Amino acid sequence: MSTSPLALLEGGPEGLETRIVRITPPGVELRVAYGNGYERFRVTSRWQDTPDGSLPVYEWVAHVDAKP
């Protein structure tokens, strides 16, 4: 069982299956693998109540393609 904190992802592609993810360490930009690259999320000052408790909100910044 992991004790890493959780975060809520906001924005980005609708096809992202998971919106609540583990973060290590908290407060650092987050990259989530998606399609042919990854989605970048940055931490905000907002928190949102979820079924997993009150979580920090990370907002979508951009999609970055994987290098060929």
pLDDT band at 55 (very low <50, low <70, confident <90, very high): very high
Average pLDDT (47-66) is 94
pLDDT band at 51 (very low <50, low <70, confident <90, very high): very high
Domain boundaries, the chain: 6-65
Q: State phi, psi for 11 to the nearest 5 degrees.
A: 85, -170
Token pair 């908290």 is found at 26
pTM: 0.85
Residues 6+ apart with CB under 8 A from 2: 22
Q: What percent of the chain has pLDDT over 70?
A: 94
Could you read off the pLDDT of 10-40 as tens digits, one per residue? Answer: 999 999 988 999 998 877 889 999 989 999 9
